Amino acid sequence: MVNGKKLVIVLPAYNAELTLRRTYEEIPMDIVDDVILVDDASSDRTLEVGREIGIRHLIRHEKNKGYGGNQKTCYDKALELGADIVIMVHPDYQYTPKLIPSMAYIITNGLYPVVFGSRILGRGALKGGMPIYKYIFNRMLTLFQNWLLHEKLSEYHTGYRAFSREVLEKINYHANSDNFIFDNQMISQIVYAGYEIAEVTCPTKYFEEASSINIKNSTIYGLGVLKVSLVHRLQKWGLINSPLYKKGN
pLDDT digits over 123-136, tens only?
Answer: 666 666 677 877 88
How many domains does the structure of the chain reveal?
Answer: 1
CA dist list (Å): 184 to 17, 31, 35, 106, 133:
27, 29, 24, 22, 20
The pLDDT value recorded for residue 145 is 95
The pLDDT value recorded for residue 203 is 87
Kindly report the average pLDDT of the chain as a whole number: 92
The pLDDT value recorded for residue 221 is 87
The pLDDT value recorded for residue 242 is 96
pLDDT in tens, 171-230: 999 999 999 999 999 999 999 999 999 999 998 776 555 555 667 777 888 899 999 999
Average pLDDT over residues 146-170: 95
Look at residue 64 and tell me if it is in a domain.
Answer: yes
Helix (H) or strand (E) holding 100: helix 100-108
Contact 85, 6 (CB under 8 A): yes
Look at residue 32 and tell me if it is in a domain.
Answer: yes
Report the share of the chain in percent with pLDDT over 90. Answer: 81
Beta partners for residue 10, in sequence order = 36, 88
Look at residue 179 and tell me if it is in a domain.
Answer: yes
The pLDDT value recorded for residue 126 is 64
* Helices 132-149 and 215-236, axial angle in degrees (round to 10): 10
Look at residue 1 and tell me if it is in a domain.
Answer: no
User: Quick one: residue 129, left, alpha or beta (phi over 0 = left, psi -120 to 50 = alpha)?
Assistant: left
Host domain of residue 52: 7-241
The pLDDT value recorded for residue 205 is 73
Q: What is the pTM of this model?
A: 0.92
Look at residue 40 and tell me if it is in a domain.
Answer: yes
pLDDT tier, 50 (very low <50, low <70, confident <90, very high otherwise): very high
Look at residue 248 and tell me if it is in a domain.
Answer: no
Stronger pLDDT, 132 or 24, i.e. the higher one? 24
Look at residue 2 and tell me if it is in a domain.
Answer: no
Average pLDDT over residues 7-35: 97
What is the domain-level CATH number for residue 23? Answer: 3.90.550.10
The pLDDT value recorded for residue 209 is 54
Contact 83, 3 (CB under 8 A): no
Report the share of the chain in percent with pLDDT over 70. Answer: 93
CA dist list (Å): 28 to 11, 57, 69, 90, 145:
14, 17, 26, 15, 33
Measured distance CA(232)–CA(244) in Å, rounded: 9
Stronger pLDDT, 82 or 222, i.e. the higher one? 82
The pLDDT value recorded for residue 219 is 82
pLDDT for residue 112 is more than 70: yes
Look at residue 249 and tell me if it is in a domain.
Answer: no
pLDDT for residue 14 is more than 70: yes
The pLDDT value recorded for residue 248 is 76
